[in-house]
Each structure stands twice: as structure tokens, then as C-alpha cells.
Structure 1
Amino acid sequence: MYITITAQKLGKNYGQSSADFVQYLEKENQGLEQENMEHFFNQYGDEISAEEVVREIDGNTAKLKKKEPKFYSITVSPSKYELGKLENSSEDLKRYTRELMKDYVKCFNREINGRAITVDDIKYFAKIEHQRTFKGTDRQVRENQPYATKILQFKHDIRKIERGEANGNIERFKLKIGKLEREAPHQQNGIRIVQGMKKAGNQRHIHVIVSRKDASNSVSLSPGSKYKSSEVEMHGKKVGRGFDRDQFFERAEKTFDKTFEYKRNFAETYKARKDFVKNPNLYFAALMKLPTNEKAIAFKLMHKTGIPIIPNIPTSQAQLALRIFKRLRQGVDVAIKSSSIGI
């Protein structure tokens, strides 16, 4: 499960309206007949139009400053293993989203009129997407990049020869390009993986756009708050503040597992991923204590997500720690970007 929470982009990308972002989320509907389109939905409604989403989000921004985010984007990308547990992918993901947003509100340390926040207090709209493309930060694209650079140079050389600016054998350059295309380490259906290429297989994921203000347009609810969970005194009263992201990510996993009876491996858990970044020694110590079959699955999952692992598992935990730390110092930042959940 890969989950991110992102504030509305201000400046060049997105302005004061949600229209550009909503239009971006409509990209898969282009050219489709009405009955084949994926529509926006929320806690109680389906087939909500893009126009209504823009109108509701843009009209719910009372007292927000010009440079404050008007909405947040939550992206939920289940792994192929998690998607494999779904019987009716789109409908199941809608059902999960509605449960997930209940978890979302429970992670705010806030009250409205003296009561705990409920899902009825937020204004959100969600959409299921079926495709994903490779990004420049993906491991496959990064590791193919040296080949891409050489191919680009050879194509540049060919153009120079065609313009009469240089001498050379064009066919020889084409053969070199073909060889590099085949030798690139990451291929999809026999084609070198490049940035922007559509990913094969089941790529369904969820986009949620949630208003910064509550449904009454009077209370600010920011999941981007720097305060995890605390209290502050305002006008002589103690007021709760903050959003607990750790709790949200953990709840998201538990809700998925309970809803679809999914048996989550240690390597797929948010806690494990966080320990991998914050305390690698604890992560690998816990990994080595797993039963043999679970450990084998965990190492397989780690390999799939790009986390640096060793080819042969040493018998001594001291040896393991020493060899792993050498790899971690070089690869931890890149590896976690390819892992299963945003931190």
C-alpha cells in the first residue's frame, strides 16, 4: 500500500481553484463513452460530475489566506498483491475509500462544537483510476537511464550525419542503438522502460480531493499540520490540534486487511517501512526473527520494491547488520521512494 497526502500546489502548477487538478483527474475519461467513464464519488453519492467537485471545493474556502492550500490530495495505491484480493476492483475500492475516510477524520486531534469529528464533517470527492505511468524516480527508469543517455547520443550523431555535419555509418549506429535497447536491464513486453510508459498489469488506484475546511466551511482541518497531536490554549480554553499521519497509515492498512481478509506480510507494514528508514537495525532484527516462510516472502517483497538487500543471507545477525548498513548508506533515500507506503 502506497499512500501520500499532498497539499494543493500553489503558483505555476495549480492556482486558487481546484479546476486544474480536477481536470487532471479526468484524463482517463477522455474519448470514452458516458457508460464507460469513472465518475467522482463521496461518502454517500456516485456519479458526481467534475463541475460539481470544482464548485463544492472552491466554494468551501472561507477565511483561508491566499497562499494557504484550499484542499489536499490523498493518493492510495494498493500493491498488486492487495489488488489481487479484490473481486470487483472499482466497487471494492470505492467501499474501501469510504471506510478509509472514516479513519482519516479519526486521526485529527480536533473537536467541532465539543464533539469528535466524523466523516460527515469533511467535504471530499474521490475517483478510481486504472492506469499508472513510470516516473523518473522509479527504479526501473533510473537504472535504464545510462542506456537512454547513450541511445540519445547515437540518435544525435545520426541526425548530424543526415544533415551532412559529420561522417559516419548510420546503419552501424542503428545496430548499436538496437543492442542498447535490448541490453537495458528493465523491459516491459520486450520494450525498454522509459519515463511516461504505461505500467502493465492491474494499476488501479484512488485519488481523493478533500477540502481544507470542514463541511460547514467554518473549521480548518489540515492533514499537513506540523503538530502531530497536541493541545494549545486559545482564548482561555485548551484546544486540540494536529493530525497523526502514523495513525492514519496504520489504520489504512488495518481497514484494508479487515475489509478484504488480507494477510499482510511484515515487509508490507507501515511500521516496518518506517523502521527501515528510522531504525534499520531494528527492522532487520525483526525480519530475521520471522518464520522461514514469512521471511522468504518478505525478502521477495523487498526485492520487488527496490529496497537494498543482500544476495545471500548470512547466518550471523552481526554479519547481516554489517553488510546491510553498507548498502543502506548508499541506497536508503532512493529505496524508500519505491517502497510500499509514503512516510
Structure 2
Amino acid sequence: MDARRAWVSQAIGLLEADANRSADTHLHVFPLPPEWGIDLYLKDESVHPTGSLKHRLARSLLLYGLVGGRIGPETTLVEASSGSTAVSEAYFARMLGLEFITVVPRSTSAEKIGLIEFAGGRCHYVDDPMAVYGEAERLAAECGGHYLDQFAYAERATDWRGNNNIADSVFGQMTRERHPIPSWIVVGAGTGGTSATFGRYLRYHRHETQLAVVDPEGSAFYDAWRTGDHGYETGRGSRIEGIGRPRMERSFLPEIVDEMMRIPDAESIAAVRLLRDRTMHWAGGSTGTNLAGAFRLISRMRDEGRTGSVVTLLCDGGARYQNTYYSDAWVAEQGLEIGPARARMNDFLETGRWRDG
């Protein structure tokens, strides 16, 4: 075995050791009236070493590059991300002794930049947020590095058949619950990799579980799914970090999604505050988007006289959003009013019925 192949073997061993330590995250129960006969669970991805669901994605992307021969001991890793994916990729790059550069819009907050740099990454700035893709590709070619390209490779980097991926972990943890096969899995879409993993896993294992994808304001995924236009673009970003994109990304597979819902940003923020008040779990806005979608589906199940379980994700911790989603001043600056959404959720948890605003 030559030196490069030996290094790759060692690198894969390090990534697998990380997976062995951190892959089985907690599955929390959200309190619902037991007489409803419906149970709601949140898979807590915030407990990963880098604090988010993107820890799994980053590890998979690096493994995909390693086994595909595109990452070696001198390879510079490049990404287009200003959020949790970049933080996680920087963490793994440092673990392997590799340089990591992520292309970010110049408007990226100092808090995000600080998280990426703390994990060992370096930020390269562009003025136009839509230019991050092309600039990342250019940088990788210029330095002879590897463009990890989460938006292209997320769906293919994860083994959807099992191998302790997030779907496999959820179904393993559900085996002793009163409704072990969920009626619904509810996730958001940023790259589309998580929904692709769940959707294909459900079909491969022949589960009757349905997949719902929730999408925030400003994102292209919902309209791409609704219209069938895979080139759909909104030209806008999303206030809900980690999910929503201004264009339809290649890793999103709309054909395996059973239902999509567009969730207002005010509901997403109200939901994470409700989660904190009812469970003491802090989470980011994407978790609120998930919860709002889960509440709608549970209301529908009750209307149909059905019992069962619903599983969604707690995507990342709330501490990094103290100055945004948990700040009344920030919410007001955004022109959002979360009071009506919170009242609607409180009413749902008392009556079991979801009433749209």
C-alpha cells in the first residue's frame, strides 16, 4: 500500500471513530396529551461534537471524497457555506490535518465567522451571495483542492440503505415505542440530503411511513416541488438558518417527498420558543419549522381518527441564536409578529386542532 492510500485508510478510521462516538443521538418525547394516541419525537442532533445535524453531512462528504480518491494528505478542502455545514467540515478537516476554506457572503455575521474559525476553518468573502458556488469551484481548481459541494453531493454521500445513518438510527430507537413505525417523518431541506436519506430509506425498507418536507419563506424547494420546475429560483435567502435555498439544489429529490408545507417564519420562531418553555430544550429556527409542520400533521391525524407517531429533528442548539430568534428586538427589526402564531400553537396543544392564521 502506497503512502497516500495508507493516509486515506487512517483518515477513514478517524472519521469512523467519530461516528462510533456520536452517531446515536437522543430521541426526545415532546409532551402531548396521552389520550390523543399520537406521540411526537425529536431526534436531537444538537449533541454532536459540532452542535448540529450537519455533523453527519460533513462526515459523509469527507468520506465520499476519501473513498472516491479526491482527498489526500495535501488536499485543501473548499466549500460554499456560511453556516453549520462549514463549522462541521472545518472540524473534520482539522481532525485530518487538512486546510479548509469556505466561501461566504460578505454580509455573514461575525458570530458565524467566529464559529467557523474556531473550528479551524478560513473564510473567503464574496459580495454576491449567489456567487459562492462559482467562487468555491474556482478556488478549488486554483489550489488543486477538492470542492466538497454539499448542494451537489449530499444525497449521494450518505448510505440510505442503513449503516447507522440518521434514518437507521431513528427506526432503531423507535422499536420499543407504542407506535414503532412512524406515520410521518418531518424534515426541512437545506441541501436536500436529509430528506433524500429518509425518503430512500423508507422505500428500501418498505415502510408505510410518509415523508413531509417543511420549507421556510424565501425558499425555492416548495415551489419546485409544487410546479415540477427543477430550475426554480426565488432570488431570495431564508431567515431560517440551515434550511431553505434561493434555488432548487441538485441534492433535493422532490420525487420521494410525499408532502411539502411552507411554514411562515413567525411560526418557526414561535415554535422554538414554545419548545424551550415546554421542554427546556433550546433549538434553532429550523427545528421550529419542523415542529410547526409536525403540529399540522398531528391535527390532521386527529381529524381522521388516526393514532400513531411522528418523528422530526432538533437540528441544532439555540445558544448560537440568542441574538436572533430569541431576541425580541431582532424579531421586531425583521417585521415579524410571533404572538398570533404562539397563541395558535397553545390552542393546538389544548384542543388537538390546528387553525391556520
TM (norm. structure 1) is 0.27
TM (norm. structure 2) is 0.26
